[in-house]
Structure 1
């Protein structure tokens, strides 16, 4: 009798452990489902910033699907735009264009987050299609729109992209300074490394090496504060390279 009771208790104990394990697993599996679509989008953005593009793509797709279920057009349009952008980065331009068109069908100009995100991706597709004038106009519109709506990170991104697609060095430098001023005034310091770096590249192209060095030194300062190890390495390299161009070999 005691042996039978012991076996019964043992069976019940095993069942209880297995049930608890299944519950914990289900909680883990459903964790992302319990997040709001805004949180899902933020999570996808964080992965994107780490340049884990394939994983980011999966998260943006999931976010778009969930936002559609909840009739959240703003988040859906942002997620679809980012699906397009990630596909562009991964070399799947045609696939990306399909999602960009889907985003265009969902987004409204009255939605600051959705519209600004859409413009940022639209401009990048135009850039990669070598439609530089259209791309420049799109990013200029994005900049003005983001300033009006106090979306400063996206405003700086827009200025940064105008500086990239602008045809003349004068325009590139002008928009580089616009981006830098906006970043400094609105707590967007993470942008300052890339902005100074790109301006240095412009001065390098027109062989103004003294100005190139000034910009690369500023870029290095910010890269060492806010960027990853690879960016820091390139920042050091560019400073040394420019010192050599100026004949300052000891500094290099």
Structure 2
């Protein structure tokens, strides 16, 4: 079910994503599968900042799930995301931890990594990112998570002045945001020429709809 649900997502087109999930509801066979789809509709509402609608959909999902099911993992995870996005990180933290424990116990490893990633945003970033990385390293099929996890770890180190460790983490992250992280870290280390080169690479890779402040910061570093 994991891959089938991922295929329906397009974060740049929430209306289309919602339509695909609603159509998919007609194809599901079990209550737990229906609950899984409802949690994804809840995530769509969270991204729209319609938090009450999102929580209502998770409520609907929770009625359907068994206590040790994948649907339960997703309900915990999406309820946590709704709380975090709604400015309630303290409410989100135990939900992400519970989702991680249940997902890991069940063998839903992609969801376990997702839960660790989210826990790192509201709890100990180093601890939870490393928990996620341990799973990914042991399961090469989850390699897509390496970028986000190393990026989280890089910014944690950067914000705590651990620049050498930040640079090491960013160097393991191939995406455009990793180049921007490397640029900022090299700049903080006083390695101006290397920072400028990384900033130029970031500018080449950044999406056209990137935040102006991000672009301006990279342009300033690229200029030396």
Distance across 2 between alignment mates of 1:165 and 1:65 = 35
For 1:50-108, what per-residue CA distance to the aligned partner results, in whole angstroms no more than 9, with x for missing partners? 643221111111222443xx5x2011101111101111112222222221211122222
Distance across 1 between alignment mates of 2:138 and 2:114 = 14
Question: 1:73 corresponds to which residue?
Answer: 31
The Cα shift of 1:43 comes to: 4.5
Give structure 2 stretches of 5+ with no counterpart. 196-224
Secondary structure of the corresponding residue to residue 171 of structure 2: helix
Q: Are 1:47 and 2:4 counterparts?
A: no
Find 1:218's aligned residue among 172, 179, 199.
172
Find 2:78's aligned residue among 88, 99, 121.
121
| 1:63-102 → structure 2 map (5 Å cutoff) | 63-67=24-28, 72-102=30-60
For 1:171-221, what per-residue CA distance to the aligned partner results, in whole angstroms no more than 9, with x for missing partners? 21111111111111122111010001011111121122121111111123x
Question: 1:251 corresponds to which residue?
Answer: 194
Distance across 1 between alignment mates of 2:132 and 2:60 = 30
Distance across 2 between alignment mates of 1:108 and 1:157 = 20
Question: 1:195 corresponds to which residue?
Answer: 149
Distance across 1 between alignment mates of 2:132 and 2:71 = 21
Find 1:237's aligned residue among 180, 187, 191.
180
User: 124-133 or 194-203, which moves further after superposition?
Assistant: 124-133
Q: Are 1:179 and 2:132 counterparts?
A: yes
Distance across 1 between alignment mates of 2:134 and 2:34 = 32
Q: TM-score, normalised by structure 2?
A: 0.79
Distance across 1 between alignment mates of 2:133 and 2:67 = 26
Distance across 1 between alignment mates of 2:10 and 2:133 = 20
The Cα shift of 1:117 comes to: 1.3
Q: Which has the higher Rg, Structure 1 or Structure 2? A: 1
Q: TM-score, normalised by structure 1?
A: 0.71
Question: 2:211 corresponds to which residue?
Answer: none
Task: Tell me which of the two structures has the higher relative contact order, counting C-alpha pairs closer than 8 angstroms and 6 or more residues apart.
Answer: 2
Find 1:145's aligned residue among 102, 106, 113.
102
Conserved? CA contact 2:103–2:112, under 8 Å: yes
The two structures, once aligned, show a CA RMSD in angstroms of 1.9
Conserved? CA contact 2:8–2:21, under 8 Å: no
Aligned length: 194
